Chain A
């Protein structure tokens, strides 16, 4: 597991049913692309986050497959629409999949009015 990994998520505290919620996410990760060489001329092995997912109340919202051309500390901003049958507290679940098999997760709840 990579060290010093930290996730950041920004979204509003509350929103209306049927409304739009803009979500910003970032994870601290070097995204070692596998093409660089160390001081001895040896290739540094690829070590990236290769998949990011966001679910809302157990249903997938966005599923992003990425390669080594996504910048260090992958950042994503996207929009969710809260279904009309959402509960009064909705759960967003975020997952980042590392090449080394680690899955970094984070959650946020939003008040739904």
Chain B
């Protein structure tokens, strides 16, 4: 536990600003709130496999981020004209209680976001 806490604290200390983590995806563009939905439990026992659904109608791509994970970028999902919905379900690892952020690149090139806090009882140590 001591080691895990130190790792997480180290991560917080080392973490770049949120905008840095997201800017690889956005290219530094402004991000407005709304138009993105994250369906995830607000409390989970086990951070090793947390079901999540992300949806952003009209999105070309969605980036998923968890800034306190050792690798904050969880996934970048690219949709096409064959996508009936701009939604994806998957399962993610969360190293600690934290915000999960979804950023959508919309068809008009603008960016939108949503944030959901998840409390994790058993931090997926080392995830």
A71's partner among B87, B88, B93 (CB-CB below 8 A) is B93
**Does A78 contact B88, Cβ atoms closer than 8 Å?**
yes
Contacting B at CB under 8 A, from A59-78, are: 59-72, 74-78
**Does B74 contact A66, Cβ atoms closer than 8 Å?**
yes
Total cross-chain contacts (CB, 8 A):
102
A56's partner among B70, B75, B82 (CB-CB below 8 A) is B82
Could you tell me the dominant secondary structure of chain A's interface residues? strand
In the complex, B84 has a CB within 8 A of chain A: yes
**Does B80 contact A64, Cβ atoms closer than 8 Å?**
no
In the complex, B116 has a CB within 8 A of chain A: no
Given contacts A63-B78, A64-B78, A66-B75, is CB(A33)–CB(B84) below 8 Å? Answer: no
**Does B90 contact A33, Cβ atoms closer than 8 Å?**
no
**Does A33 contact B71, Cβ atoms closer than 8 Å?**
yes
In the complex, A2 has a CB within 8 A of chain B: no
Q: What are 22 A-B contacts with C-beta separation under 8 Å? A: A21-B84, A33-B71, A60-B82, A61-B80, A61-B83, A62-B77, A62-B79, A63-B78, A64-B76, A67-B75, A68-B70, A69-B92, A69-B93, A70-B74, A71-B48, A71-B93, A74-B90, A74-B91, A75-B89, A79-B83, A79-B84, A79-B85
**Which 8 residue pairs spanning A and B have beta carbons closest together?**
A81-B84, A77-B89, A79-B84, A71-B91, A71-B49, A20-B84, A61-B82, A63-B78
The chain B residues found within 8 Å of chain A, CB to CB, are 48-50, 66, 69-80, 82-85, 87-94, 126-127
A21-B84, A69-B71 given; name 19 further pairs at CB < 8 Å: A20-B85, A35-B70, A62-B77, A62-B88, A63-B78, A63-B80, A67-B75, A68-B93, A69-B66, A69-B69, A69-B73, A70-B90, A70-B92, A71-B48, A75-B89, A77-B90, A78-B89, A80-B82, A81-B82
